Structure 1
Amino acid sequence: MSQRNYRAAIVGTGAIAHAHAQALLGSGRAELVAVADVDARRAAEFAGKYGGPSTHAGLDDLLREEQVDVVHLCTPPQLHAPLAIACLEAGVTALVEKPPTLSLAEFDAVIEAERRSTAHVATVLQHRFGAGALRLRRLQEAGELGRPLLATCNTQWYRDEAYYAVPWRGTWESEGGGPTMGHGIHQFDLLFSVLGPWREVTAVAARQARPVDTEDVSLALVTFENGAVATIVNSVVSPRQTSQLRFDYERATVEVEHLYGYTDDDWTVTPAPGQEGVSELWAEGRTTTSSGHDGWLAAVFDALDRGEAPPVTAEDTRRTMEFIAALYASAFTGERVQAGQIAADSPFARRMDGTGAPWEKVRNP
């Protein structure tokens, strides 16, 4: 398979954009030709740091004046859907930071735009592509671990009030949700990439400490089509920060604990009695690489080289976005929610807070 050299642009030059630029420049397969930001000074500083790409005030100018293959969308979340649709209408593949949209309805609009386009859309969920996750899926698919039985997925982070002083943070209108949308999505998306389609969710969400409109904690009990069960915790009020995933299989427990990115050193395997060979299989092909944007971007370019939709595809992301909507629906209605239950006319499809967060009803009776 021959490798193309891709012309790339970045829209939004905040903190996460630096990870994208570094991955692009380190890939050897792309050229960063343009950046856009509403803050001209910040765009110029960013461009100067990464080889001098041209600068633009916005995506429209960039698409009109540049020939690009892919656009990395690193803006605040409320801009993701309209910018992704604009890229697709221009025949340019959009690589969208999480959360990809504010609602399931918005994401379905992006899917429709992709169907009309010659280009693709993919969500940046890079933890799927670390060596440990790749190895885990490979061993599971080969049957080496036995059936998956139980999993736990904890994103327990800490964000203080100063973090939420940024105007677009902490509201349903600009972020679409709290830690369920913007923080825990990385971990439970990795969980879903291993365990496959979820079937049912029962959840709670609460506003415990932060002065926000959204939740600052959520918890979910999830069943999967393959029979596995899992708990998922998402928090921004936890002083000892950690990201933990644990998978209990018939033949071994596989665990990873890290914060914002893992290496093979962060994974452990505990074989069941008599299954010590699992440890030997796990040790094969160990690396020192991190689960950052580099591995994800390499997978994106590999897919584009083959003429395929890049990961994480719209289909994969929709399953994760539907889960988020279902978690909020369960938390705010007190009901169990099945996969496929949230139809287009559901209030939880149009907005993640659906019929309204309980604490808002108390404040505004």
Structure 2
Amino acid sequence: MRRAAVVGTGSIAAAHAEALRAVGERVELVAVVDVDADRATAFAREWGVPRTHPTPAALLDAEDLDLVHVCTPPRHHVPLALDCLAAGVNVLVEKPPAMSLSEVDALIAAERRSAGRVATVFQHRFGPAALRLRRLVAEGVLGRSFVAKCDTLWYRGDAYFEVPWRGTWDSEGGGPTMGHGIHQFDLLLSVLGPWREIRAVAARQARDVQTEDVSMALVTFADGTVASVVNSLLSPRETSELRFDFERATVEVEHLYGYTDAHWTITPAPGHEDVAARWREGRSGIVSGHRCQVEALLDALDEGAPPPVALADTRITMEFIAALYASAFTGTVVKAGQIGPENPFYATMEGIGAPWATAR
């Protein structure tokens, strides 16, 4: 049985604890860490965790661990992951995995020197429907990809941003592009493959924050697919939607924070009704939550394989985010590979600064 720990016992930590419990005897949650000792104790009591530790350093010193789940506010993700790698421990880090592309590259360099590996929580990749979609794309069942859209239209009022680390570049790394829409467009990228260039806008429309509260992008992929991506925290009717228009069918999903097969639809093109039958094979009621990714991660550890959503995959999504901000803040088209160490958007997603910063 593998031994796991959770660092940070805020709201998302419960999803990790639930996923670990759900996989049964494959893994045991042996310890938790939180800066708030009372909160750590309450979490440990709720989830039957035998030990708490005051700091990550104390955790790594006292426990023999296979896996650490990093569930802290975003600015702590990379320092904690680096500590785990230095100790040779595998890490599953919540989104956003890092504050910048440069931090991702620091993790990649540290991972090369470590026995540990880093995986990012992008759980929507692991729902049965997403797995089936990628398989059908790879097998050529759906034909060429033409058009796609990805909308994360959520609502977060002023009270949400009263938490000190929210809505700031230093603590959160960005707005809905970094912390909310990232799940949907990561799934988009996992289906459509490499992107080629991006044209974007970002705005601070209503919330008194440093970051954007809405962003929009037009994306061209390496295979010629064109896609729109919208990330909003200003949308009272909340929805998460993805649509893929292939040569032989349109495949769509509408959900909010997690989907089952019931949230997906397929509309065959005329003359390709057989595609719908292929889609319906292996239908499932499993929710695209953390459990699916934790199971896949444990499988990889058992097989000695790279973890699902390894740093190479994570970098693609983080480069997309950096390019979106760069395009939005400079008013230019940004191409894949353009954000290097000499680029201001490499070290921070804020880059040259948001256009509205001088108005604060």
Taking structure 2 as the reference length, the TM-score comes to 0.99
2:12 alignment partner in structure 1: 16
Runs of 4+ residues deviating >3 angstroms: none
1:224-255 CA-partner distances (Å, limit 9, x unpaired)? 11111100000000000000000000000000
| C-alpha displacement of 1:53 | 2.4
- Which of 92, 112, 117 aligns to 1:115? It is 112
1:198-235 CA-partner distances (Å, limit 9, x unpaired)? 11000000000011000000000001111111000000
1:163 alignment partner in structure 2: 160
Distance 1:204 1:354 in 2: 14
The answer to whether the aligner puts 1:105 opposite 2:129 as a matched pair is no
2:202 alignment partner in structure 1: 205
1:309 alignment partner in structure 2: 306
The answer to whether the aligner puts 1:352 opposite 2:349 as a matched pair is yes
1:223 alignment partner in structure 2: 220
1:56-98 CA-partner distances (Å, limit 9, x unpaired)? 1111000000100000000000000100000000000011000
Q: How does 1:1-365 map to 2 (within 5 A)?
A: 5-28=1-24, 29-363=26-360
Distance 1:228 1:361 in 2: 37
Distance 1:31 1:310 in 2: 19
| C-alpha displacement of 1:50 | 1.1
Distance 2:51 2:298 in 1: 22
| C-alpha displacement of 1:106 | 1.1
Distance 1:73 1:338 in 2: 31
Distance 1:106 1:314 in 2: 11
Amino acid aligned to 2:245: D
* 5+ residue gaps, structure 2: none
Distance 2:295 2:59 in 1: 24
| C-alpha displacement of 1:306 | 1.0
* 5+ residue gaps, structure 1: none
| C-alpha displacement of 1:287 | 0.6
Distance 2:333 2:359 in 1: 23
Distance 1:336 1:68 in 2: 45
SS of the equivalent of 1:174 reads helix
Distance 2:359 2:12 in 1: 36
The share of aligned pairs that are identical, in percent, is 66
SS of the equivalent of 1:162 reads helix
| C-alpha displacement of 1:49 | 1.0
Distance 2:137 2:310 in 1: 21
Taking structure 1 as the reference length, the TM-score comes to 0.98
Distance 2:5 2:194 in 1: 33
Q: Contact 2:32–2:49 at 8 Å: present in 1 too?
A: no
Distance 1:330 1:151 in 2: 20
1:259-299 CA-partner distances (Å, limit 9, x unpaired)? 00000000000000011001111111111110000111111
Amino acid aligned to 1:313: A
